[in-house]
Structure 1
Amino acid sequence: MNRRITLITGATQGLGRALALDLAERGHTLLLHGRDQGRLDAVVAEVGDASPGADVRTYLADLGDLDQVHALADRIRAAEPRLDGVIHNAVAGGGAEPLRREVSAQGHELRFAVNHLAPYALTRGLLPLLTASAPARVVNVASIGQEAIDFDDVMLERGYEGLRAYCRSKLALIMATFELAAELEGSGVVVNTLHPAHLMDTNGVREYGLTPAVGVDEGVRPTVRLLVDPALEGVTGRYFDQFTDVRAHEQAYDGEARARLMELTRSLVERAPLPS
C-alpha cells in the first residue's frame, strides 16, 4: 500500500524501458508513458515477467502534441492517488535525416517541443498531484550535448541540423529545471537534471549514425539515484554528469536568457480556454 508511484515518459525502449525494469524490482508502482500501446503492453509484460506482482499502469500520448500532453496530465491527476516521482525520459534525437526540419502538432520545432516544451507542460500539469504527494522528485533527463539558444531563431528555421536542435532543446530543459526548482523551493517538490551516460545504446543514437559507447544500464543508476537516494533529499535545481554535480552550459546561468526562455515557454504551453 505504501509503494512509491513513479511516472516514466518514453518507457517503451532504451533507457526508459531499463528504468521501468529497475524501479519495478525496487517495488515502485509504475506509470509508463508511450505513444504506441502495443509497445507499452510489451514492456508491461516484460516487467511482469521480471518482477511478478509489479503494479504497472500505462498512459498513451504523443508528446509532440501539446494538447495530448495537457490531456495526459489531466488523466494522471484524475486517476492516481498520488505521485512521488516523475522521470522525463522521452526524447526526440538528432534524427535519421538530420537536415530535415520537423515540427510538432502546434508547428514548433520538434526537438524543442518534445525535449523541452512537453516535460515543462507535463510537470506544470502534474504539480497539484506532486505537491499534494510531497516529498516528491522530478528528474529531467538531459544531455552533456548542449548548445546556446539563439533567441532570434529559437525554432532553428535557419541552418537547421537535427543534432544542433537536440543540443539546444536539452539546454532549454536544463534552464527550465533551474527555474522550476527555484519556483518550487519549500514546496517539497525537488527538480533536478542529469546527463545519464555518454552515447548509450539507444535507437536515437543509432538512428543518427553514431556508434554506441555504453549500454543503457550505464544510465540507469545515476538516474534512479536522483529519484530515490535519501542523501539527495532537498537537493534541487542541480545538473549532474552521471553522479557528479557539475556546471551546465554557461547560458544556463544567464538570468536574462532564462527569463526570456521561460516567457516564451509559458506562452507556447499555455492552454487555450475551454469553449463555453
Structure 2
Amino acid sequence: MNRHTTLITGATQGLGRGIALGLAARGGTVLLHGRDSTRLDAVAAEVRATAPAAAVRTYLADLADLDQVHAMADQVRAAEPRLDALVNNAVAGGGSEPLRRELSRQGYELRFAVNHLAPHALTRDLLPLLTTSAPARVVNVASIGQDAIDFDDVMLEQDYEGLRAYCRSKLALIMASFELAAELDGTGVTVNTLHPAHLMDTDGVREYGLTPATSIDEGVRPTVRLITDPELESTTGRYFDQFTDARAHEQAYDIEARQRLMELTRSLTGSPELGS
C-alpha cells in the first residue's frame, strides 16, 4: 500500500478528514480536496504532522460549481501520475434552514448538485487516470437515508425540504454507482457505495438539529475497508451498510429509473458515456 494514491473530496472536516488521516497512516499518498483554502491547508498540515511518511497534496474547488469540478479534474490529471482510489465524500446536508431551497452555480438544486452531479462529473473526468492506474476503486459515500426520485420534479421545486433533498440525492448517487460499475466491468476499476455510520458526530448532523449517535471513527473504518481491503479488489456495483453488503432503496434496482437518471445526469453535466 506504500504507493497507494487516493483522492478524498470533502477532506477538511468530519468523515473526509478521518479517512485522510487513516489512509496517511498507511504511508500512501493522499490528495485532499476542500472548498476553503485555510481549512484545506490546516488539514494538510495535520496529516503531514501525524503521518510524516505520507505524501500530501491539496486541490481547491467548490463542488457546487461544475466548472470548478471539471477544472479540478484537469489539475489532478495534469499533476498526478496515478490514482488508485477516488472517494466521493463531500456532502451538502439537510441544512440549518431546511425549508430554504438553495441552488448550485449552474442553477440546480444544491443537494442534487453537490451530492450527485459533482461526484458523477469528477469521476467521469478522472476515468482516464483511474483506468490507467487499474486496479483502482471508486468509493461513493452515500447514506441509509434514501428517498425515491420524482422524475416530474427532480429539482424539488415543489414542497421543498432539505433532508428530503439530501435523501433523494444520496439515492441518485447510489443509482449512478450501480450504472457506472456495470459500464466499467472488465476495466479493473470498481465502483461501490456505502452508508458509513448512523448519525456521525459531524457539523452537518448538528447543523440540521439532529443529535449525533456515533463517532466519526465508526464511519472511517468501513470506508477505508472499501478503499484498501485486498479481498474486495474485484467487488463492484454493491451498496454496503457499514461492513455489510446490503440492499439499497428499491428504486436503485429499477433499470428504467436508472437510465432516466443517467440521461438527465449526462445532459446536466456534459459527461459522455465511456468510449464516447
Q: What interval of TM-score do these two structures reach, taking the shorter chain for normalisation?
A: over 0.9
| Structure 1 residues not aligned, in runs of 5+ | 272-276
* Residues 1:220 and 2:220 aligned together: yes
Give the structure 1 partner of residue 237 of structure 2.
237
1:218-252 CA distance string (max 9 Å, x none): 00110011111011111100000000001100000
SS of alignment partner, residue 221 of structure 1: helix
Task: Output the CA distance in 1 between the equivalents of 2:74 and 2:147.
Answer: 33
Quote the offset at 1:133 in angstroms.
Answer: 0.2
Quote the offset at 1:27 in angstroms.
Answer: 1.1
Task: Output the CA distance in 2 between the equivalents of 1:84 and 1:243.
Answer: 21
Task: Output the CA distance in 2 between the equivalents of 1:81 and 1:51.
Answer: 22
Quote the offset at 1:54 in angstroms.
Answer: 2.2
Query: What is the TM-score with the length of structure 1 in the denominator?
Result: 0.97
Give the structure 2 partner of residue 274 of structure 1.
none
Give the structure 1 partner of residue 130 of structure 2.
130
Task: Output the CA distance in 2 between the equivalents of 1:111 and 1:252.
Answer: 18
Q: Residues 148-227 of structure 1: matches in 2 within 5 Å?
A: 148-227=148-227
- Specify the code of the residue in structure 2 equivalent to 1:187: T
Give the structure 2 partner of residue 85 of structure 1.
85
Give the structure 2 partner of residue 261 of structure 1.
261
Aligned residues: 272
Quote the offset at 1:2 in angstroms.
Answer: 5.2
Task: Output the CA distance in 2 between the equivalents of 1:134 and 1:47.
Answer: 26
CA RMSD of aligned residues (A): 1.2
Quote the offset at 1:85 in angstroms.
Answer: 0.3
Deviates more, 1:47-56 or 1:245-254: 47-56
CA contact (8 A) 2:7 2:31 kept: yes
Task: Output the CA distance in 2 between the equivalents of 1:65 and 1:128.
Answer: 22
| Structure 2 residues not aligned, in runs of 5+ | 272-276
SS of alignment partner, residue 172 of structure 2: helix
Deviates more, 1:50-59 or 1:258-267: 50-59
- Specify the code of the residue in structure 2 equivalent to 1:3: R
SS of alignment partner, residue 31 of structure 1: strand
Query: What is the TM-score with the length of structure 2 in the denominator?
Result: 0.97
